[in-house]
Amino acid sequence: MKTILLDAVGSTNDAVRRYLPARENTIVCARRQTAGRGTKSRSFLSEEGGVYLSALIFPSDMPAPEAFRVMAHAAVAVCRTASAFGAEPEIKWPNDVLAQGRKLCGILIENGVAAGKVDHSVVGIGLNVCNSLHGIENAITLSEAASRALSVETVRDALIANFRQSSTFGDYLSFVHFLGRDVEVIEGEARYRAVARRIAEDGRLEVECGGELRLLSAAEISLRI
C-alpha cells in the first residue's frame, strides 16, 4: 500500500482524497493536523506525538449496508496494535478505542457510495501515543496505557501493518467488553437506561429496555457506559 508521510496537514482524511482518481489503496500520515476532524462535526486535536493517518481503500463489491465492516476492521487494527505494545484496549461502540476506561483512539470513516455499493472508503485513525492530552477530556496515551515510552514512528508502522492484515467481525467482538452491562442511551433530548445486548453485523447496537429490544444506529444516538 502506497504510504505518504507528511509533516503538518489540515486533515489527513482530506489530504488522502487527492489520490482518489488513481484508485490505488493509499495511506497518508501526518505528524500533526491543524484541522483534524472527529465524528458528529467535532474537531479532533492533533498535536505532535500522536499517530494521525487516513487510509483510502476500495472495497470490492461491498453493499452499502455492510459498510460497518470497514469500521470494525479499523478498530481491530488499533486494538491489535495497542495490545502488541502492552495495553489492554477495548472498543467503545462504535468507533472509539479505550484503555483503562479512557479514550486512546478515535476513528472517522467517510465512505463514497455509488449504486448501493461502497465505492471507496477513507478510514481516518487518530491514536494518542505520547502527545500532550492538554484540553482533551478523559483521554489516555498508548505510552501511559503501556507504562513505557514509545516512539510514534514505531507505533505508526505497527498500526499500518495491522491495518493490512485481515480481520473478522468475531475479532471486533473480542474487543467489545460492555455487552450485558447497563448503559445510558442519549437520543436527541431523551436519555434512558438500558442493557446492551449485542452488536449486529451491520453495526447497530441492540439494547433491552423495559423488556423490549431496540436496535440503535450510532448516527442517531450516543452512549454512556
Binding residues vs ligand BTN (CB under 6 A):
11-13, 33, 36-39, 42, 44, 46, 52-54, 106-108, 124-126
CB 61 to ligand BTN: min, Å: 26
For ligand BTN, which is the closer residue by CB, 1 or 116?
Answer: 1
The dihedral built from the CA positions of residue 162, 174, 168 and 140, taken in this order, carries a sign that is negative
For ligand BTN, which is the closer residue by CB, 153 or 182?
Answer: 153
For ligand BTN, which is the closer residue by CB, 125 or 205?
Answer: 125
CB 71 to ligand BTN: min, Å: 11
Q: Where are the alpha helices (DSSP H) in the chain?
A: 12-15, 68-84, 142-146, 152-164, 169-174
The residues near 211 (Cβ < 8 Å, ≥ 6 apart) are none
CB 169 to ligand BTN: min, Å: 21
Q: Residue type at 79?
A: C
Please, are residues 197 and 214 in contact by the beta-carbon 8 Å criterion? no
For ligand BTN, which is the closer residue by CB, 29 or 183?
Answer: 29
CB 209 to ligand BTN: min, Å: 26
Q: How far apart are CA 168 and CA 21, in angstroms?
A: 29
Question: Measured at CB, which residue is nearest to ligand BTN?
Answer: 106
CB 55 to ligand BTN: min, Å: 10
Q: How far apart are CA 12 and CA 52, in angstroms?
A: 7
